[in-house]
Amino acid sequence: MKFAVQSRNDPQSNELMERAISYLTDFGLEIDEEKPDIVLSIGGDGTLLHAFHRYSHILSDVAFVGIHTGHLGFYADWKPIEIEKLVISIAKSDYKVIDYPLLEVVINYQNSDENYTYLALNESTVKSPEVTLVMDVELNGRPFERFRGDGLCVSTPSGSTAYNKALGGAILHPSIEAIQVTEMASINNRVFRTVGSSLVLPAHHSCVLKPVKAKDFMVTVDHVQLLHKNVKSIQYKVAKEKVRFARFRAFPFWQRVHDSFIDSDLK
């Protein structure tokens, strides 16, 4: 089996990375940065986002596992003191692979056949370089609303505990194949109207955002932010690709939600 390690690059994560590489190579595993079977991410959830984007072209062949060197993470749920236990399980292939849904983002441009397709593990957001974002929202090809406000966030189920949660969106269990559209400070008064609630769309639905006047938008895909000019539309749907995680033990999602947001010491 071949492995790669992604570190947050702080002293503790780098030290753990050195130990993981030495243990795994002692067990006869081969380090392969290009085409690993398993990627060990050491840092936080942000580090796993970086690892995901580094290997997003080989998602069907690679499984991710995360060790957290800060607080408990959603993707990074192993403690540094468990590293030996973890590498033994990796070496013995003593794990199950579970997969989570991803978000597909397709950006089309005015006067061009060119488009860009991205995959998000957490979410994609759209904001305006001007003060207010104004975009028409279509659901399954039908006009739904004209959005005016700070921006829109479209998240995956596993990303629902990240930016989406801070915006008041619901937490979705990652076994649900869906995406969630959540508003950022919409303008709502007698003249302007949006639905106000988060929308959860199933896998066969799509959400398309179309510019009204301004055509340039700040679009994020996880930790990556780019200014896209002359945008014609931004399409969101559940991706056909999935992300695979190596699971070595039961750690139910709702337990992770509890431990992260309520109380990590409560028994």
Q: How far is the CB of 248 from ligand NAP (least distance, A)?
A: 19
**Opening angle at CA 237, ends 235 and 242, nearest 5:** 130
The reply, when asked if residue 50 is annotated as ligand binding, is: yes
Which residues, other chains included, contact 154 with Cβ-Cβ below 8 Å and sequence gap of 6+?
A: 103, 105, 120, 123, 124, 125, 179, 180, 181, 182, 207, 236
Q: How far is the CB of 100 from ligand NAP (least distance, A)?
A: 10
Q: Which of 10, 37, 45, 222 is catalytic?
A: 45
CA 71/CA 79 separation, integer angstroms: 9
Q: How far is the CB of 223 from ligand NAP (least distance, A)?
A: 3
The reply, when asked if residue 45 is annotated as ligand binding, is: yes
Q: In Å, how far from its chain's centre is CA 253?
A: 15
Residue number, 80 or 88, with CB nearest to ligand NAP: 80
Residue number, 83 or 91, with CB nearest to ligand NAP: 83
CB 136 within 8 A of CB 143: yes
The reply, when asked if residue 28 is annotated as ligand binding, is: no
| Residue 237, CA atoms < 13 Å, CB-side half-sphere | 16
Percent of residues in the chain assigned helix, strand, coil, to nearest 5:
20, 45, 35
Cβ neighbourhood burial of 159 (10 Å; 0-12, 13-18, 19+): buried
CA 102/CA 156 separation, integer angstroms: 6
CA 60/CA 65 separation, integer angstroms: 15
Active-site residue 77, yes or no?
A: no
Q: For residue 93, give Cα distances in angstroms to 96, 144, 193, 219.
A: 9, 48, 53, 39
Residue number, 29 or 42, with CB nearest to ligand NAP: 42
The reply, when asked if residue 247 is annotated as ligand binding, is: no
Q: How far is the CB of 156 from ligand NAP (least distance, A)?
A: 8
Residues of this chain that interact with ligand NAP (CB under 6 A) are 44-46, 49, 70, 73-74, 122-123, 158-159, 161-163, 166, 222-223
Residue number, 108 or 161, with CB nearest to ligand NAP: 161
Residue number, 108 or 156, with CB nearest to ligand NAP: 156
Residue nearest to ligand NAP (CB): 46
Cβ neighbourhood burial of 109 (10 Å; 0-12, 13-18, 19+): middle
Q: How far is the CB of 66 from ligand NAP (least distance, A)?
A: 9
Q: Which residues are annotated as a binding site for NAD(+)?
A: 45-46, 50, 122-123, 148, 150, 185
Q: Which residues are annotated as a binding site?
A: 45-46, 50, 122-123, 148, 150, 185
Q: Any idea which residues carry the catalytic annotation?
A: 45
